[in-house]
Structures are given as structure tokens and as C-alpha cells.
Amino acid sequence: NDAPVFAPALSPKEGAEAATALFREVFEAEPDGVWYAPGRVNIIGEHTDYNGGLALPIALPHRAHLALRRRKDRVVRLVSPQTREKVDVMDLDTIGPKGTPGEVAHWASYIAGVAWSLERDGFENLPGFDAALVSCVPLGGGLSSSAALECSAAVAIDEVAHLGLAGTAQEPDDAGRARLVANCVRTENEMAGAPTGGMDQSASLRCREGHALELDCRDGSVTHVPFDLAAEGLALLVIDTKAKHSLDDGQYGARRAACERAAEILGVELLADIAIEDLPGALDRLSATDGDDADELVKRTRHVVTEIDRTRRLVALLQDGRPLRGEKLAEAGRLMDASHESLRMDYECTCPELDVAVEAARAAGAHGARMTGGGFGGSAIALVDADAGHDVARAVADAYRREGFNPPAFLDAVPAAPAGRLA
């Protein structure tokens, strides 16, 4: 029996050195600096962002590191270890959204696209840049490696082009960062063509170390909620199922469309407008519609409204100042479990790998466990005692072996700092 594999986070020093070394090797110059942005994992509040609801992500210690040097022209050159042989070269004067002649290939769109978006947000004539990317956010694991790319580019461009939006990681300018978030979301939606909400970029740019970020997706307002797990003798285990997750095969769009139809029938702008007390009446109205999607609309709406309520309850629990132990810990675990159940039964966006991970983690002593991120693969999380992380990971790995799934990977999710400058 092999020991479970934990994906390590590069330390800030290692990240800065690796990105700088790649930059020197490829561009034969010194970068102006190294900037980073974290991946994220959501504690609760799933598929609520585009419904105007609440989410509760933390920033991961796993980060994208970007060594970058400002250029005198409008050229952008990008390299990552995966593409060392080939440097992507483009021009800020000719790049454009996906599906247009200026379309930018693959991962380069997540970085160059931020400059493109900022120019449309009023920061005209930005300088080009050379940049080397070294990221240890697992790719396509539902931990937002894509937002980490965008947000590292956002804080780097902010500084070398003197936009004055981000502040520093120590003294962040939250309003400025909210504007960077909007530009990173636009990058992901228009340049990369992925129709995602704003949770990922908000987490990467606006979290605080030792805290979760309560994000009100209606107006973008945030509250920093104490979540210093190590101090409570707890840990958050991330289980990367390695199952194929693709949000662009239409499932994500179908969920969003169902929520919009339900909101329209109920006469509200967003499903977050339905108070939990009014949910039974709202569900009655949806089941009384004669469309053949009535059952689907009932289930999707029930998930969204109850999930926002669970998020509100978990936030209140974490803010009450008492240690996260005993009945309080049990209640936090129940809220996470109920979230998974709702995503499995009502939102129908889990998969066997996610369900098995969650069941095995609970059976091995996790206080609560749920899928996290968009679903259909990606990652699950388990709230565990600090000294039990490896045992729970082993139990999940064993269950995967029994089921014949590919081996999962694990991460230790310590609530970490938001995007900023390293060196």
C-alpha cells in the first residue's frame, strides 16, 4: 500500500527562485520582480455566486508565481515550464477575445488577457512585458489554477504600470482589488471563454491569512471570517479526485440557465432574493408550472436557497468567538455534509469519485466533508483533526483503489495570504 501523495506548496522563496531562474534562462535578463497569486478552495456556498448568494473561500498556500519585466513596446512574451521550448509572443495591439482574429491560445490568454481587459477598463496604452510562470496550483483540479494565473498577472501589471489598485499583501487596497477582480473575471469569460462567476478571483485577491472570505456575490462586499484551523487543532484536507472535470461541456451553462429560468418564473432578479422562509412557497410555484423542466427548477432552486442559508449559518458559527470544538465543530461538519448532499441530490453536479471521497473521509473520522468548486470532478474537502489528515487521506486512497479509480492527490489547505509581490 503506497502512502497517499500530498502535493506540496512551493515556499515563497522557492517560488520566487524558480520563476526568476526560468525568466533568466529564457529572456537572459533580470525580472523587475516576482508576483504571486494563490489558488482557492471553497469551504461552503457552492453554485451560489452567479445567483447573487454567499460563498466562503480561503486562499491556498499553493500559488502561481510570475517573474515579470516591463517592456518599452507593446509585445508580451510568456513562458512556463510546460512550454519552455516555445515562448508565446503576442502584441497588445492585436490580441482580442476568444472567437475573434486576435484570439490568444491556451494559458497565455489568462495572463495577456488581463492587460487586454484593463485597457478596456480605462487603463489605456499599457506596456508590454516578458513573464515566466511557475505555478504549483494543481491544474484543472477545481482549485482555480486559472484564477491564480489571472490574479498574478493583475498584481504584477498593477505595479509595473503604476495603476495603484492592489496596495500590498500586507496593506491591501480592497476597493482597488475588487476592480482587479472584475478584470480577471472578464479575462476568464471573454479571453478564455469560460463562463465562471467571481468567487475564484475574489478569493485569490481579497482573502486574508488565517481567515475565510465571506463573499456576497450580489454586490462584491466581503467579510473576513476567523478560520485559523491550526490554532484550533484542525486541518482542511483537499482531495483532488483527478476525475475529468470540464465546465465547458454544457453542464455549468445548463445549471446557470435553469437558475435564471427559475428566477424569472418567481419574479426575482436573482435566486438569492428568495428568503429561506419563503422557499416552500417558491417551490410550490415552480412545481405548478407546466414546463417539463418543473422538477429540475425545483431542485436547482432548493439547492441554491438552502446553500446560501447554510453558508450564513456557518459564518455565524465561525464568528461567535468560541473555540471550534465539541458541538460547534459537529454543527460545522453537519453543514458541510448537508451541502454535499444538496449538491449530489438537488444540483446533481457530483460524480462517483467525489461521493466516494466524501463517504470515505467521513467514515475515517472527518468532522464534515463535501465536494468543492464547480463539481463533475475536481476536488473535495474534509475537515479533520490536525493529526488525522494522513489517516483520512489513506482511507480515501484505499477506497479509490477498491473502486478502481485513479489515485487521488491531497493538499493541506492552510488559509493563506492573498496575491502580492514576493521579491
Residue entry with cell 499583501? 169
Measured from the CB atom, is 62 or 310 closer to ligand ADP? 62
The site that binds ligand ADP (CB under 6 A) totals a number of residues, namely 17
Closest of 372, 156, 95, 87 to residue 382, by C-alpha: 372
Cell reading at 255: 445549471
- Asked if 142 is part of the footprint of ligand ADP (rule: CB under 6 A), the reply reads yes
Interacting span for ligand ADP (CB under 6 A) from 46-54, 143-151, 201-209, 322-330 = 143-151
Catalytic residue among 88, 130, 200, 240: 200
- Asked if 139 is part of the footprint of ligand ADP (rule: CB under 6 A), the reply reads yes
Measured from the CB atom, is 150 or 159 closer to ligand ADP? 150
Measured from the CB atom, is 20 or 241 closer to Mg ion? 241
Determine whether 200 is an active site residue. Answer: yes
Distance CA 407, CA 423 (A): 36
Measured from the CB atom, is 106 or 162 closer to ligand ADP? 106
Distance CA 296, CA 161 (A): 48
- Asked if 38 is part of the footprint of ligand ADP (rule: CB under 6 A), the reply reads no
Distance CA 38, CA 40 (A): 6
Chain Cα centroid distance, residue 69:
27
- Asked if 144 is part of the footprint of ligand ADP (rule: CB under 6 A), the reply reads yes
- Among 82, 94, 100, 406, contact with ligand ADP (rule: CB under 6 A): 82
Minimum distance of Mg ion from residue 25's CB (angstroms) = 28
Distance CA 288, CA 280 (A): 12
By the 8 A CB rule, do 206 and 172 touch? Answer: yes
Binding mask 228-247 for ligand ADP (x = CB under 6 A): --------------------
Residue 123 contact among ligand ADP, Mg ion, none, beta carbon within 5 to 8 Å by kind: none
- Among 106, 120, 322, 401, contact with ligand ADP (rule: CB under 6 A): 106
- Asked if 80 is part of the footprint of ligand ADP (rule: CB under 6 A), the reply reads yes
- Asked if 411 is part of the footprint of ligand ADP (rule: CB under 6 A), the reply reads no
Report the chain's terminal Cα–Cα distance, integer Å: 41
Residue 87 contact among ligand ADP, Mg ion, none, beta carbon within 5 to 8 Å by kind: none
Closest of 309, 252, 308, 311 to residue 52, by C-alpha: 308
- Asked if 8 is part of the footprint of ligand ADP (rule: CB under 6 A), the reply reads no
The bridge status of strand 221-226 relative to strand 129-135 is: unpaired
- Among 140, 167, 210, 226, contact with ligand ADP (rule: CB under 6 A): 140
Measured from the CB atom, is 60 or 393 closer to ligand ADP? 60
Binding mask 300-319 for ligand ADP (x = CB under 6 A): --------------------
Measured from the CB atom, is 227 or 252 closer to ligand ADP? 252
Measured from the CB atom, is 144 or 342 closer to Mg ion? 144
| Number of other residues whose CB lies within 10 A of the CB of residue 339 | 27
Interacting span for ligand ADP (CB under 6 A) from 103-111, 322-330, 341-349, 350-358 = 103-111
Minimum distance of Mg ion from residue 192's CB (angstroms) = 9
By the 8 A CB rule, do 6 and 411 touch? Answer: yes
Q: Which positions touch ligand ADP (CB under 6 A)?
A: 80, 82, 106-107, 110, 133, 135, 139-146, 149, 194
Residue positions annotated with a catalytic role: 200
